[in-house]
Chains A and B, each alone.
Chain A
Amino acid sequence: MSKLLSTFAWGAVAALGAVAVGVVALHRGEPISTLWLVAAAACCYALGFRFYSKFIAARILALDALRATPAERLENGRDFVVTNKWVVFGQHFAAIAGPGPLVGPVLAAQFGYLPGTLWVLAGAVFAGCVQDFVILLFSVRRDGKSITEMAREEIGRVGGFVAYGAVIAILIIILAVAALVVVNALKDSPWGTFTIAMTIPVALLMGVYLRRIRPGKVLEVSVFGFILVLLAIWGGQWASQSAAMARVFSLQASSLAILLIVYGFAASVLPVWLLLAPRGYLSTFVKLGAIGLLAVGIVVVHPALQMPALTRFADGTGPVFAGKIFPFAFITIACGAISGFHSLISSGTTPKLIARETEARMVGYGAMMAESAVAIMAIIAACVLQPGIYFAINSPAGVVGGTPAAATATISGWGFPVTASDMQTLAHAVGEQTLFNRTGGAPAFAVGMAHIFSQSLGGERVMGLWYHFAVMFEALFILTLLDAGTRTARFMIQEALSHIYQPMGWTSWYPSILITSAMIVGVWGYFLWQGVKDPLGGINSLWPLFGISNQLLAAVALCVATTIIIKMHRAKYALVSLAPLAWLVAVTFTAAWHKVLDPDPHVGFLAQARVLASGPATAATRRLIFNNRLDAALTAIFVAMVTLVLIESVRGWFGVLSGRKEVRLKETPFVMTRLVEEQG
């Protein structure tokens, strides 16, 4: 009877999912309710988790609840700790959820809501969740080894080297892109700049409170910090209305870029407890609250999607970034569908906390589903805006024109009516001087979020507060990534340099700290500066670079996964990781080809360099030409590195399958768990 009931219930979920996806995909004309998107996503996730992840767990990975995990065998109370599965789930989700799933989907909304939605749903269920789940489990079976170590052991030295190089490259590119998003959100915004500036003394205060007054009471001080940040948002309104304060906090993009570079360096060299850690706590506190609030807001308000399912920019002429849906939608949305960076988390802290192998399914597959849901919320926030407003915010002046009249005429000419007075009214409502040319995704997301919140709490009167709350939430998120990422990259460089001169590897030796911090900040600062000075807004060149490098790391992770699956004699199921790998290789290699060699100067780096070279030669032009060639070279290097890993992996697969190569799995031997005995 219960089986019949279960079949009926899952049949109903499948039917509802099919109808919801059908409405989302096929409806044209009148706007549809966001609830259709929510229903489609919820049903896809439920079906994916119940059936696909269970199939992988049972048929391929053969999860074994009796096998002791490293958390149990190597428990030391520090890195290896047996932890409740829901606690690990929360910890893992907090680590994987960054600004990526908020920014990428907003940028990809230029194609309409449909391409991004389908990619986020299908990509998460069949690729991203699978990657996170299998890499987590394989790491658990190898004493919590990292993806770079697993790549070296299972594929070969080239695999390990490429994974290491890809991680550093991604870190540098993402830090530059993230900083650029903050610059674009805060330029000429005294309210936003004041609020974000105030988070630095708030974090310092929290650090001192934690260290001197109430050691270790992080939750308590985070609540205290959050209240101070809310006061800073309120104070920002005052700052924007006071002529003297507004002058101080109205900063140009280049000034903000310099301040961020200085901040990144300071955060990397200062003691971690003083600035980085309290800021991280504050960011996590705001992040979890804001995501929860947005989810509730969408379900309660369920506004209509104003953006069409597909826009004319599917042909590759989009103003937000140039390039066709294939491949660019699939590299623009990385986190939310599949992100190679997650393989670092799945083979980092998380495998050292899992109590039983069977919990890897909920933690690995389940947490990625939650991240994917965040991406769906970002699509909703962008697509509830009138398309004309969305394009006015997200289009660079170099594409639509530098004046409100020119921009609105261009955008209205595309069939998305918007007037300068509409934009002025909106800017006034959110407390900004202008919302034109605020590229990068964060301001559009903030306007969408404020639009949703203001319909349920406080009305239009408090839209400015909601907007700046959203900007603060995103900027805090990104700045945390900036300081934590700079520090992580610093450690990696120190480790690499220690092979040349041992003291460089000492993490508390100040000459090494200063030199390696300056190296990392200098490199991402260079790319940030390049983005700030780019007439097309910077996002057009930097975000695809990030997407390509991140997806290539995912390709390396899936190579590791496929290699291990084949070595486990489960070759007949290898398509589970091989299919997403093939898709990612097709997407990233095509995108890389376009970015390097496409003859359209809006798309191809070299074509743009050629166009610039044919014009008047100024210092600025020479710099742009060099930057375009540098971006092209970087893209080509990424592709070459991953091609090497692919070749080495495929050789290994054929060797194992033909019996020419001995199968050597590097799993730790089976040890019976004591946890079951204790319970039994």
Chain B
Amino acid sequence: MTRLVKAARILLATLREIFDEAAYSRFLGRSQMVSSPAAYAAFWRERESSHERRPKCC
């Protein structure tokens, strides 16, 4: 049972990472903001100005 719960947690964490929810949480923590339309807009501004591009393969 514990293994199942652990597997489910890892699956959820993976999905949160893939879908940028984890990155948004880290952004909120780093910038000490609470989730709001303004915070989300700031998150995207930071991502767009970042030199780190996320290429997707063919």
Contacts and interface: CB of A to CB of B under 8 A. Distances in A.
Given A91-B14, A272-B44, A284 B19 contact: yes
Interface string A141-174: 0000000000000000000000000000010001
Given A83-B17, A86-B14, A91-B18, A78 B46 contact: yes
A137 interface: no
B56 A78 contact: no
A211 B14 contact: no
Given A272-B44, A349-B52, A222 B37 contact: no
Interface in B3-48: 10, 13-21, 23-27, 29-30, 35-37, 39-41, 43-44, 46-48
A576 B37 CA distance: 51
B18 A90 contact: yes
A481 B43 CA distance: 23
Contacts of A345: 55, 57
Given A87-B14, A272-B47, A98 B58 contact: yes
B40 A216 contact: yes
A508 B50 CA distance: 11
A211 B10 contact: no
Contacts of A218: 19-21, 24
A284 B18 contact: yes
Contact of A77 (B14, B29, B36, B49): B29
Contact of B17 (A91, A352, A507, A550): A91
21 contacts: A78-B46, A78-B52, A79-B52, A91-B14, A91-B18, A95-B56, A95-B57, A96-B57, A100-B57, A100-B58, A178-B58, A211-B40, A216-B24, A219-B16, A277-B44, A285-B19, A342-B57, A349-B54, A352-B52, A481-B58, A488-B55
A281 B17 CA distance: 11
A95 B58 contact: no
Contact of B57 (A88, A212, A272, A335): A335
A212 B26 CA distance: 20
Contacts of A174: 58
A254 interface: no
A78 B24 contact: no
A226 interface: no
A94 interface: yes
Contacts of A272: 44, 47-48
A273 B44 contact: yes
B19 to A, nearest CB: 4
B58 A348 contact: no
Interface of B: 10, 13-21, 23-27, 29-30, 35-37, 39-41, 43-44, 46-50, 52-58
A491 B13 CA distance: 30
Given A90-B18, A508-B48, A216 B43 contact: yes
* CB-based closest 9 A-B pairs: A215-B40, A90-B14, A218-B19, A216-B24, A100-B58, A174-B58, A96-B57, A77-B30, A77-B26
Given A215-B36, A352-B52, 17 more contacts: A77-B26, A77-B27, A86-B10, A88-B17, A89-B14, A211-B40, A218-B20, A273-B40, A334-B58, A341-B58, A344-B57, A348-B55, A349-B54, A480-B56, A481-B56, A488-B53, A508-B48
B5 to A, nearest CB: 14
Interface string A335-360: 10001011011001100100000000
A179 interface: no
A272 B49 CA distance: 11
B21 A99 contact: no
Contacts of B26: 77-78, 81
B49 A212 contact: no
A546 B57 CA distance: 13
Contacts of B54: 95, 348-349
A429 B29 CA distance: 53
B57 A98 contact: yes
A84 interface: yes
Nearest to A85: B10
Contact of A78 (B13, B14, B16, B50): B50
Contacts of B29: 77
Interface string A496-512: 00000000000110000
Nearest to B46: A78
Nearest to B26: A77
Given A87-B10, A272-B48, A211 B57 contact: no
Nearest to A104: B58
B10 A84 contact: yes
A27 interface: no
A215 B37 contact: yes
Given A91-B14, A219-B21, A339 B53 contact: no
A210 interface: yes
A90 B17 contact: yes
A277 B35 CA distance: 18
A281 B19 contact: yes
B40 to A, nearest CB: 4
Given A210-B40, A211-B41, A508-B49, A219 B56 contact: no
A471 B25 CA distance: 34
A272 B46 CA distance: 12
A96 B14 CA distance: 15
B56 A485 contact: yes
A350 to B, nearest CB: 10
Contacts of B21: 216-219
